[in-house]
Structures are given as structure tokens and as C-alpha cells.
Structure 1
Amino acid sequence: MIGAIISLMGSIFLFLGALGVLRMPDTYNRMQAGTKATTMGSILTLLGIGIYHLPWLPQSLILIMFITATNPLSSHALARASHFSGIPLTEKTVVDRLREEYEKDEAAVSKEGENE
């Protein structure tokens, strides 16, 4: 019974993540909503399956570790690639720290090139 409840909670997270992907205003917010919700939803679903059917618990834990490691990393890589390829932010975005860091590094490199 506990495994079924945990799996149901995971399914709710997955549904809310899909809803967030549809409702968010830009690519970056959609990635963030999808990644966080699907990571937690997948973890809860797999944990619930492992508890419900105990022989599958070791495989579920291995999958949970894999998802925990790869899902945020892949989302980060996609967000950086989207940013550097010029996909625009929503107008509501106030701070773009990646652009600030990139411009600071670019200025340092050009200043270093002038000194040589």
C-alpha cells in the first residue's frame, strides 16, 4: 500500500511537470519546470515500485541514482546551449547572470589581448 501511495505521488509530480512545461513563458522556465518535476516524479515512482515489489528495489535504486545524476546535468547543458545559440529570455526576466559572466570574461580576454 505504501509503495502505491509513493508511486501515485510520483505520478502527480510528473503530471504537474508536464503542466508546467505547457504553461511556462520561455524555453528556460520550461526546462526548469520539466527537469525538477520529472526528476522528483521519477524518483518517487521508482521508489514506490521498488517498495511495492521488493525484488525490484535494487534496480529501482540504481535507476534513481542514474536519474539524479543525469537529469540536472543534461538540463544544464541544454540551457547553456540554448543561451549561447541566442534563444531569447522572456521579457519578465530581470537578471541574466550567464550573460554577465560571459561579458566579463570576454572583456578580460580582449584586455589581455591588447596588452600583448
Structure 2
Amino acid sequence: MNDFFEVLVGIVLVIGALFSLVASIGIIRLKDVYMRMHAASKAGTLGSGLMLIALAIHAHQIDVITRAAAGVVFFLLTAPVAAHLLAKAAYEVGYKPCADTRIDALAEPEDETKV
């Protein structure tokens, strides 16, 4: 049974590392601040959470498992909220979405009486 846990920890670590790699590539390659924030908050949170879960599986100690679970919950609660607030602040400062963004939900509605 111990070999099963070792293999499970390895698989979860590799998957978490791949998600973290995708997040870092997204931060480098994507076009604007909103797309980069999306990559960092979604894939980065999933990658970090999976690696903490692998730590909890590997530890076999209740205090480490509790801390890892608290870390996962902390990531899941704070990363989306922080990304939302940063995106809202960036938009209010004046960073507009790139041309690939089809709908700008925060843009001022156009006045149709001027036509």
C-alpha cells in the first residue's frame, strides 16, 4: 500500500507542476493584463493546490495534512478575489482589454441618440 501512495504523490505532483508551468507560460505569452491574471489565478491556484494535496498524502501526519488542507482552502478563497480586484483596479486606471476581447462588459454604453 505504501507504493500506491508514492505513485499517487508522484502523479499529483507532476500534474500540479504542469498546471504551474502552464500558468507561468500564460503569464509570459498572453497579450494583456486581464488574460495574464486569468492564467495566474486559475492555473496557478490549481497547480499550487495539487502540490499541497500531494504533500498531505505524503506526510501521513495530521498536523501537516491540516496545514496543507488549510493552504488549499486559502488559495481557493483568496486567488479569485484578488484577481478580480486587481482586474477591476487595472480597468479603472485605464488599461483597456486587447483587441481579441470581443465584449467589454465594463465599457460605457454608446449613446444611440447621436446617430
Length-normalised TM-score, structure 2: 0.83
Q: CA deviation at 1:99?
A: 2.2
Q: Hey, what does 2:9 align to over in structure 1?
A: 3
- Give the distance between the partners of 1:4 and 1:53, measured in 2 at CA: 13
- Give the distance between the partners of 1:14 and 1:93, measured in 2 at CA: 24
Q: Hey, what does 1:44 align to over in structure 2?
A: 50
Q: CA deviation at 1:4?
A: 2.2
- Give the distance between the partners of 1:93 and 1:8, measured in 2 at CA: 32
Higher relative helix content = 1
Q: Which runs of 5+ in 1 are unaligned?
A: 105-116
| AA partner of residue 38 (structure 1) | G
Do structure 1's residue 75 and structure 2's residue 83 form an aligned pair? Answer: yes
1:10-49 residue pairs with structure 2 within 5 A? 10-49=16-55
- The alignment partner of 1:99 has SS state of coil
- The alignment partner of 2:96 has SS state of coil
Over aligned residues, Cα RMSD in angstroms?
Answer: 1.7
Q: Hey, what does 1:92 align to over in structure 2?
A: 100
Deviations 1:62-109 (A, max 9, x none): 110111000100000000000000012111211011225xx59xxxxx
How many residue pairs get aligned? The number is 103
- Give the distance between the partners of 2:100 and 2:66, measured in 1 at CA: 44
Q: Which runs of 5+ in 2 are unaligned?
A: 1-5, 111-115
* Dislocated runs of 4+, deviation >4 Å: none
